[in-house]
Homo-oligomer: A and B are copies of this chain.
Amino acid sequence: MKITEARQQFISQWGAFGTHWGINRTMAQIHALLMVSPDALTQDEMMDELNISRGNVNMNIRELINWGLVERQVIPGERKEFFVAEKDIWKVIRLIVKERKKRELEPMLELLNKLEEVEGDKKDKNVKAFLDTVTGIKKLGRQADKTLDMMVKAEENWFVSNMLKLFK
């Protein structure tokens, strides 16, 4: 397989992958393109390579910057802005985990705390089933929260090596 075809396949598959994980296709494709590009790219280059509009590139680049996955780079003497992606895949994962934890896990845990204070007789089987479920999810959620915090703070090798020790 030629490099150009391989790059295209990679970008396309990373895009599809993203859609399964709540990241929009274009955002994931831009990220993929930047990951396999040795040099920083401009918005125009991305428009060209991915066949998407200027507005689309701009909005998704901004979102990638919010997530910490892409950085703006100013090259002296150049009017245009250049962009580079974080290429260390472990850092990428940590950034994504951090962001999604904040957006999804934390609000869920807050709600579960409120819901645990539901009024009503614990002998009522509806109340009991409800509390059992909520409590179970809360326990798991808190565990996940702690675990992910550790992961986010950990250095790559520490995490990998612990995982290897535990699971080999």
Tell me if A7 and B143 are in contact (CB < 8 A).
Answer: no
User: Could you tell me how many residues of chain A have their Cβ less than 8 Å away from some Cβ of chain B?
Assistant: 59
The smallest beta-carbon distance between A41 and chain B, in angstroms, is 12
Mask, A1-27, CB within 8 Å of B = 1, is 111001101100100010111100000
Number of identical monomers bound together in the oligomeric complex: 2
A114 interface residue (CB < 8 Å to B): yes
| Residues of chain B contacted by A89 (CB below 8 angstroms) | 133, 136-137, 139-140
A52 interface residue (CB < 8 Å to B): no
Chain A interface mostly: helix
A74 interface residue (CB < 8 Å to B): no
A65 interface residue (CB < 8 Å to B): no
Tell me if A146 and B119 are in contact (CB < 8 A).
Answer: no
Stretch from A43-51, A55-63, A75-83, A121-129 that touches the partner: A121-129
**Could you tell me which residues of chain A, from 112 to 168, have a CB within 8 Å of some CB in chain B?**
114-115, 117-120, 124-130, 132-134, 136-137, 139-140, 143, 146-147, 150, 160, 162-164, 166-168
A98 interface residue (CB < 8 Å to B): no
Given contacts A125-B38, A150-B167, contact A3 B120 (CB under 8 A): yes
| Residues of chain B contacted by A7 (CB below 8 angstroms) | 126, 130
Tell me if B127 and A3 are in contact (CB < 8 A).
Answer: yes
